Chains A and B, each alone.
Chain A
């Protein structure tokens, strides 16, 4: 299977073995992680639970392909055109891709823009999302970062199901339960790691374990001692957990005496039955050899509580016991490595203290301490743009004319004061306003108000857009937002300093030229009573595009005159 064919013909990736798969049938994809020693493989699973494995030349190609497949899958089987030969820029993590796909699914406007520009090659993914970092951050912070902890209920203390007829009992073990058992009883964990699969099968191991549990529950320490003497492996389960004991002793040593002045070796009791309290104040000599095999309920509960509070060291997404055991062992090794050097314990303790005061996974995302910018949605200002169309025509007549004043300063002031004195002397003019003038004004005003009411709507808050049929309104707004998006990228690319920007500007200009026919189409498709309003809304969009294209052409001209020799047109 050659690489090129697959990339460029996604609908029918042809290979030497004539593999012809449409993306409709591809259900999902998996890939090998970069950095592991495995070769770069992309595994596409299809509907019938088969899978296709593609081997790539290198990881960046794998990434490109993966991105592309991800996009196609996200559009739920939509067939797209020529794939974007993506720049091998930022390598996206799976989480980042997920966020983007989620955002696209939630906001249909965004999805339309994305489809229009990114999939048709006008903008790249990176450019599209560059201005939307805040949206992505907000999505990311919504995900809960806390890990699910252990249950408070003692899951490890499971009850078997009995089959009424025979004497067999069946225990149901799930990876969760196994994880808890290993966490609470490190001796069992150690035994598992050493015995299985060398000495005995897993089934055997658990059978012995439950036998030991049964013996404990009967509180028959004599029988326990007897069985332990026979079966050495069983003895492991029946004895006190020596790993626990040594850990407890270590913890006592690490207690900060400045905080707890009373702590000493006598506090090392959690692993002893009855908390090391002796009945009747004396040791019972007869039980001494069986003491090893006793275990009390309080011990179990304390140990379970301690484990729950410690938290989950590994995420239990495992399918088999072996994996669980290994993961737990690995995490224990890591934590013990960290805690090893005794000289560092002080620093480590202080570290722990400072970490304990802040519960990181409960904190919100650390946003900027500044007040966020509130930039209004440009769509709100869409219908107010009409003024600009009228403005340009009026400006041509001399908009920036200043007041032509040939008088000097004292003269103007004195003329003003004269008017005041004249009015003071003469009183108000009778009548203040001529009836004809007033009548004419009143008529004109009422006419214009009723006209706008007719055109725009009764509600003074309503805009021109709301009067148009919904489809037209949506199309117009969509074109407007796409124009804004294109212009944003266009203007940001100037001044052109690299060939990348040059190519980008060309692409954007082509996309902008395509918008003109779209506008014409809309104008033509609108029913006649709205045609006038639509024709009022269109000119500002034309203006914006015209200005951009003018600038583009001017800069192209400048470039071609300046640098005749350089074929690439670098500045």
Chain B
């Protein structure tokens, strides 16, 4: 729920919740090394914090098996990680990140080959939204929140439903989701997220200049977006994944009752259990998914 305007600070104060992709499988095969990207990203965080004294940054790591908060600029715990080589905040972030990776590794288990090695994007998105809701209800004045996703892993179709739910709740709370995709292919989920919530999506062409992309596009606060021109994507990939196999499809069958999407015709809908002897309910009909899109 959006808060009353009187609770907000001046126009350009932002709370940026960053979802940082720490999927080891992606980073091990990416053209940009993790340490290089970290230096770009950490400098970017500092830049945001210098843009306005009241800006806040919260970083959530999107791991392969779990997600966790690794940095909160508003907390006082940052002091304990002193390291002469770099700013205090960055070193605390790195420390926490390392601890997170250790925990994440411990959670991993052997998996069959062939599974798309995607990160738990739905989990971190949900955590971000919960944090933002907590900020809304904190009672004190708070800044405009927005979410920035730095993703490189491919989309995991099994997370489609959870991600769509999170996107719709972000839309309802009026929280824009920006996304910067540094992977190889295109991410349909990120495009849809930015399109629906009114954020900006960009896929950088030249990863050496990642910092420049971040500063030019993603450092813009919400108020300035009304007069600063940001790159607009040519179009959005609206494909969905089917509920039964989690494959990405663009033509499929939809249950008339609960609108779940399936790639093959079923007698009974597995989501709403419709059909129950009555011909009308739960009966399947073809619909071209590309055309229809649901909204809350």
Name A residues whose Cβ lies closer than 8 Å to a Cβ of B. Answer: 373-376, 378, 381, 383-391, 394, 399-405, 407, 409-413, 415-417, 419-429, 432-434, 437-438, 440-442, 444-445, 448-449, 452-453, 456, 460, 484, 487-488, 491-492, 494, 544, 547
Say yes or no for B8: interface residue by CB 8 A criterion. no
Contact A416 B28 (CB under 8 A): yes
Contact B85 A427 (CB under 8 A): yes
> When A412-B28, A544-B291 are in contact, do A423 and B39 touch as well, CB less than 8 Å?
yes
A24–B218 alpha-carbon span in the complex (Å) = 65
A-B contact pairs, 7 of them (CB 8 A): A388-B235, A391-B186, A415-B27, A420-B94, A421-B98, A434-B208, A438-B211
A452–B235 alpha-carbon span in the complex (Å) = 12
A419–B212 alpha-carbon span in the complex (Å) = 22
> When A441-B216, A449-B231, A491-B288 are in contact, do A403 and B185 touch as well, CB less than 8 Å?
no
CB distance from B234 to the nearest CB of A (A): 6
Say yes or no for B286: interface residue by CB 8 A criterion. yes
Q: B175-223: which residues lie under 8 A (CB-CB) from chain A?
A: 184-186, 191, 195, 204-206, 208-213, 216-217
> When A445-B217, A491-B286 are in contact, do A413 and B105 touch as well, CB less than 8 Å?
yes
The stretch among B29-37, B51-59, B266-274 that forms the contact with chain A is B29-37
> When A387-B234, A413-B24, A416-B101 are in contact, do A423 and B216 touch as well, CB less than 8 Å?
no
CB distance from A477 to the nearest CB of B (A): 14
Contact A420 B101 (CB under 8 A): yes
Q: Contact partner of A394 among B28, B186, B232, B288, CB < 8 A?
A: B186
CB distance from B134 to the nearest CB of A (A): 27
Contact B39 A428 (CB under 8 A): yes
A422–B211 alpha-carbon span in the complex (Å) = 19
Contact A433 B210 (CB under 8 A): yes
A378–B108 alpha-carbon span in the complex (Å) = 43
List the A side residues contacting B276 at CB < 8 Å: none
Contact B211 A433 (CB under 8 A): yes
CB distance from B92 to the nearest CB of A (A): 11
Chain A residue nearest in CB terms to B98: A420
A388–B234 alpha-carbon span in the complex (Å) = 10
A3–B277 alpha-carbon span in the complex (Å) = 45
- Which are the 9 A-B pairs with shortest beta-carbon distances? A387-B235, A441-B209, A427-B85, A412-B24, A419-B35, A491-B286, A386-B235, A437-B209, A419-B34
> When A402-B116, A420-B35 are in contact, do A445 and B235 touch as well, CB less than 8 Å?
no
Chain B residue nearest in CB terms to A423: B35
Contact B38 A409 (CB under 8 A): no
Contact B235 A437 (CB under 8 A): no
Say yes or no for B287: interface residue by CB 8 A criterion. yes
Chain A residue nearest in CB terms to B37: A419
Q: Contact partner of A420 among B38, B238, B295, CB < 8 A?
A: B38
List the A side residues contacting B213 at CB < 8 Å: 441, 445
A413–B233 alpha-carbon span in the complex (Å) = 34
List the B side residues contacting A390 at CB < 8 Å: 234-235
Contact B231 A424 (CB under 8 A): no
**18 extra interchain contacts, Cβ-Cβ under 8 A, other than A387-B234, A487-B288, A547-B288?**
A373-B259, A388-B235, A402-B117, A403-B29, A403-B154, A407-B28, A413-B105, A420-B97, A424-B83, A427-B85, A428-B90, A437-B206, A441-B206, A448-B231, A487-B291, A491-B285, A492-B285, A544-B290
CB distance from A385 to the nearest CB of B (A): 6
CB distance from B59 to the nearest CB of A (A): 14
Q: Of B117, B234, B295, which is in contact with the most chain A CB atoms at under 10 Å from its CB?
A: B234
List the B side residues contacting A417 at CB < 8 Å: 98, 101-102
List the B side residues contacting A416 at CB < 8 Å: 22, 24, 27-28, 34, 101
Contact B206 A387 (CB under 8 A): no
Name B residues whose Cβ lies closer than 8 Å to a Cβ of A. Answer: 22, 24-29, 33-36, 38-40, 42-43, 83, 85-86, 90-91, 94, 97-98, 101-102, 104-105, 108, 110, 114, 116-117, 153-154, 184-186, 191, 195, 204-206, 208-213, 216-217, 229-238, 248, 250-251, 259, 285-288, 290-296
Q: Of A385, A388, A428, A440, which is in contact with the most chain B CB atoms at under 10 Å from its CB?
A: A428
Contact A403 B117 (CB under 8 A): yes
List the B side residues contacting A456 at CB < 8 Å: 232
Contact B212 A437 (CB under 8 A): yes
A413–B24 alpha-carbon span in the complex (Å) = 6
List the B side residues contacting A407 at CB < 8 Å: 28
Contact B35 A376 (CB under 8 A): no
List the B side residues contacting A412 at CB < 8 Å: 24-25, 27-28
A401–B183 alpha-carbon span in the complex (Å) = 12
Q: Contact partner of B235 among A385, A400, A427, A434, CB < 8 A?
A: A385
CB distance from B207 to the nearest CB of A (A): 9
List the B side residues contacting A453 at CB < 8 Å: 229
CB distance from A390 to the nearest CB of B (A): 7
Q: Contact partner of A424 among B91, B108, B259, B286, CB < 8 A?
A: B91
Contact B209 A438 (CB under 8 A): yes
A424–B91 alpha-carbon span in the complex (Å) = 7
List the A side residues contacting B29 at CB < 8 Å: 403-405
CB distance from A440 to the nearest CB of B (A): 6
> When A413-B105, A445-B213 are in contact, do A387 and B229 touch as well, CB less than 8 Å?
no
A440–B209 alpha-carbon span in the complex (Å) = 8
Contact A387 B233 (CB under 8 A): yes
List the A side residues contacting B216 at CB < 8 Å: 441-442, 445
Q: Of A381, A412, A440, A492, which is in contact with the most chain B CB atoms at under 10 Å from its CB?
A: A412
Contact B98 A374 (CB under 8 A): no
A425–B35 alpha-carbon span in the complex (Å) = 11
Chain B residue nearest in CB terms to A389: B235
A500–B216 alpha-carbon span in the complex (Å) = 60
> When A407-B28, A433-B40 are in contact, do A375 and B294 touch as well, CB less than 8 Å?
yes
Contact B291 A484 (CB under 8 A): yes
Contact A433 B209 (CB under 8 A): yes
Contact A440 B86 (CB under 8 A): no
List the A side residues contacting B248 at CB < 8 Å: 400
Q: Contact partner of B185 among A388, A401, A434, A437, CB < 8 A?
A: A401
List the A side residues contacting B259 at CB < 8 Å: 373
A488–B292 alpha-carbon span in the complex (Å) = 11
Contact B24 A381 (CB under 8 A): no
A427–B39 alpha-carbon span in the complex (Å) = 9
Chain A residue nearest in CB terms to B30: A403
CB distance from A352 to the nearest CB of B (A): 36
List the A side residues contacting B97 at CB < 8 Å: 420
A373–B217 alpha-carbon span in the complex (Å) = 36
List the B side residues contacting A383 at CB < 8 Å: 235
List the B side residues contacting A388 at CB < 8 Å: 235, 237, 250, 290
